Structure formats: structure tokens, C-alpha cells
Amino acid sequence: MTDVLLSRRDLLMKTWASVVIGLGAAPAVADNPSGSSNGWHQLSARDKGFRIFSAALADNGRTGGQCKRWIQKVISRASGGHVDIPPNTATTTHRWKADASGHIVDLGASISKARTGDIVQMVIRDRSGNPIGHTAIVGTVSGGKVTWLESNYRGDERVTSNRVETYQKFASSLVNGKYTVYRVR
């Protein structure tokens, strides 16, 4: 029975990627406890984004924990342990420390230039109105809207994939316009 459920879950993930994104099924993500790169270097930028997307979507509905920590786990799983997400800088919550490995690139781009699997570090307000850092993975960017894969957006440490925002709503939710788009290479 477990094999049937896993197969249905895999089919659901591939179908969601195919239909919503319109670019075909995401490449498979295999758990790789040995820490090898799992072919990461040979993947195109598009396939790396889809592998990140697929790894994140596999957690949908589950407890993921704090947003940044969940994304660190997703990236490690997607890359076969090859890529680590750096911590935030000591002075700001919308930027990360420089990545000496070169695997994490600050795109210096607007949200409209983000692609599937990119990561956005942003400053938004919590329910009490206090500024907080939040980290989310881009699911889709299309028609002036972005769909997020994220953990703990509602403060419940759950992974969700159904929050859709227009670019305008995204911009208005930011504190002082602070966000950074990152791409994993």
C-alpha cells in the first residue's frame, strides 16, 4: 500500500509541475544520504530549479519547521547534499552572507525575473505588525503573479504551496521594499 501511495504522490507532483508550469515534469529527486552531488553539476539551471521545486513540493502539507531551516533542508536534499544555504547577515533579515562556494547567486532582480526553484528572502510583517524575515521558494511566476512554496508562513510550521500573490500585492507586503532573489547553481 505504501508503494501505491508514494507512486500517486510522485504522479501528483509531476502533474502539478506539468500543468501549472507548463514545462513538463520535474526531474526526480532521490534521497542521497552519502552526500554526493547526485549529478547536480550536470543539470541545467532549469533542471536544478525543477529539482528544488520537486523536493519542496514533496513536503507540501507536512510540518517543515521554520522557513529558512526548511529551505536549507530542501536545497540539501535536492542537490544531494552538495549545496548549503548561507545564514542571514548579522545586520539584516532580507540578505544572506556571501556564499564562498559560488552555488548561491544574488540575482539583483525583481520578482518578475524569478524562476521556478529560486529562493526569495524578504522582510514582511507578522500578525502583530512586527517586521520579520521570511524565506520562500518560487513555484511559478506567470501573468503578473507568483506562487510560493514555503514553510511557517502562517506561524504553524506547515509547508504550503497554494499562496499566490500579484507582483503588486507582494511589493505592498514588504517592509521598506526589502527582498532578495537567489538562484542555486
CATH number (domain holding residue 112) = 3.90.1720
Number of domains in the chain: 1
> Which pLDDT score, from 0 to 100, does residue 12 have?
43
- On average, the pLDDT of the chain sits at 82
Residues in CB range of 121: below 8 A, 6 or more apart: 68, 88, 93, 94, 95, 96, 133, 134, 135, 179, 180, 182
State pLDDT tens for residues 16-60. 444 344 444 444 444 444 444 568 989 999 999 999 999 999 999
Tens of pLDDT along 110-128?
999 999 999 999 999 988 9
Question: Which amino acid does the sequence have at 18?
Answer: S
pTM of the complete model beyond 0.85 = no
Task: Flag whether pLDDT at 64 surpasses 80.
Answer: yes
Please give the pLDDT value at position 95.
77
Query: By residue range, what is the domain housing residue 36?
Result: 2-184
